[in-house]
A and B are shown apart, each in its own frame.
Chain A
Amino acid sequence: MPTSNQLALCLRRREQGESDLIVTLLTREAGKLAAVARGVRKPKSRQAPVCQLFALSRVQLATRGDHGGLPVLAQAQLEETFYDLRADLDRSARAAYLVELADLAIPDHEPQPTLFDLLLASLAALTTALEPRVVMHSFELQLLAELGLEPVLDRCAHCALPLGDEAALFDAPAGGLIHARHGGSAQATSVSPEAVRAMRRLLRPDAYELDLTTLRMPPMLARPVAAALRSAVRCFLDAEPRALAIIEQLADEPEP
């Protein structure tokens, strides 16, 4: 029996057989799930646009006995493609990273409406943001927090005392920021007081009434934040997102 209409974002697709796809969808109500999309690689398939990366649709899934028990995409109505992301590789690479991170971090069949809304809002913000990296770093922090993996940013994760004006390190294995004098692990990266402030704000953009689409983040500030969050993702989620390598590849290119 087909399930009721639900909002779903396409996170990933994998070819199956001659013309089918297996899509990984993040739904608002039913969490992350895989579904079979039949015949979508044929010309003029009406469901093809629904099975593209970043496609947001209202879908109906039908549960069948075959396909290893995977539900089948019965009906789908495309709502949003985040088309403007395609204009700029840096933006679309960061969008791909957010989606990959959500896919890696969210377990199957576990409803995560807050993360669903955060991901949609972040994709929308990426299409227009003055500095796409601001949106990306805020998403990383908020995702970790929502999963209960929030890095310690308001005190020293080693001795629990306030950080004060002392030099600080971001040490993911220790749980977050620490006083530099404790040493820290091999993964520890140094962060300036400005970078610490930026991370705190990006963790709670609403509390600070930030508009992530207009916020600027100079490279001096962005570099240590990116390094800290990269190690947090690696350490807390045990993940090495593939899109990150491309984002870094592009960052090495000279500006046009």
Chain B
Amino acid sequence: MASFPRPVARLIDQLERLPGVGPKSAQRLALWLLREPPERVLALSESLSDAVEQVHVCPRCGYFAEGEACALCDDTRRDESLVCVVADARDLLAIESTDGFGGRYHVLGGVISPADGVGPDDLNVASLLARVEAGDADEVILALNPTPEGDTTANYLARVLRQAAQRRGAAVRLTRPALGLPVGGDLNYADRTTIERAMEGRREI
């Protein structure tokens, strides 16, 4: 029985590892890539290696950084005392698109999801606790989706953040964005006005 040449099979294997791509889609993508003009496909491969080589995770906040820290952490006009915790970079950009928030961010890199084998140790939780323990933040906004995973993560973080604040002998205000986000909704898909209202109307937890 004939099969794909090794390099093609390897490409299909790699594509199949992408989220939402099954074996059939991987084959379709691979065949499409191989029909494209080579220079266009090589441009894709180049942008891939550039992104991987030139961008790293900011050790302070978990967002993408090109220098030592990210542009948001380097920006001295931002309010140090207000830290907004988000699941991933897309949520950060969704909030940034509103211009309504002038504080700092902390990107967890996901939410706690035991069903997917993701626990607190798999996320940027330790660096968040370190920030609060260092006394940087007076208020931490837990801008996580109102889903089982988002709610569980927010409640877990609230508990360990309170403990972290206690260790430095201070209190930290813990809030969540309020109205607007539908139950089970995704921050990422919400419109600007909804996000703006949710951030303004945040309530303490």
Chain A interface (Cβ < 8 Å from any Cβ of B): 12, 15-17, 41-45, 48-54, 81, 83, 85-89, 92-93, 96-97, 99-100, 242-243, 245-247, 249-250, 256
Contacts and interface: CB of A to CB of B under 8 A. Distances in A.
Given A12-B115, A44-B182, A53 B148 contact: yes
Contact of B194 (A43, A50, A54, A92): A43
B116 interface: yes
B118 A246 contact: yes
A43 B191 contact: yes
Interface in B84-129: 112-121
A92 B20 contact: no
Closest 10 CB pairs of A and B: A242-B117, A48-B184, A86-B151, A49-B184, A243-B114, A93-B114, A246-B119, A96-B114, A246-B114, A96-B115
Nearest to A53: B148
B16 interface: no
A242 B114 contact: yes
Contact of A246 (B19, B117, B185, B189): B117
Contact of B117 (A16, A48, A52, A245): A245
Interface residues of B, number: 30
A48 B182 CA distance: 9
B171 interface: no
Contacts of B120: 89, 249-250
27 contacts: A15-B20, A16-B20, A43-B182, A43-B186, A43-B189, A45-B182, A48-B182, A49-B182, A49-B183, A50-B184, A53-B115, A53-B149, A81-B148, A86-B155, A89-B155, A89-B156, A97-B114, A99-B115, A242-B114, A242-B115, A242-B117, A243-B114, A245-B117, A245-B119, A249-B120, A249-B121, A250-B120
Interface string B171-193: 00000000000111110011100
B148 A86 contact: yes
A87 B182 CA distance: 19
Nearest to B147: A52
A169 to B, nearest CB: 29
- Residue of B20, B114, B115, B190 most packed against chain A (CB within 10 A): B114
B27 interface: no
Nearest to B118: A246
B165 to A, nearest CB: 13
A92 B148 contact: yes
Contact of B114 (A44, A50, A88, A92): A92
A48 B148 CA distance: 12
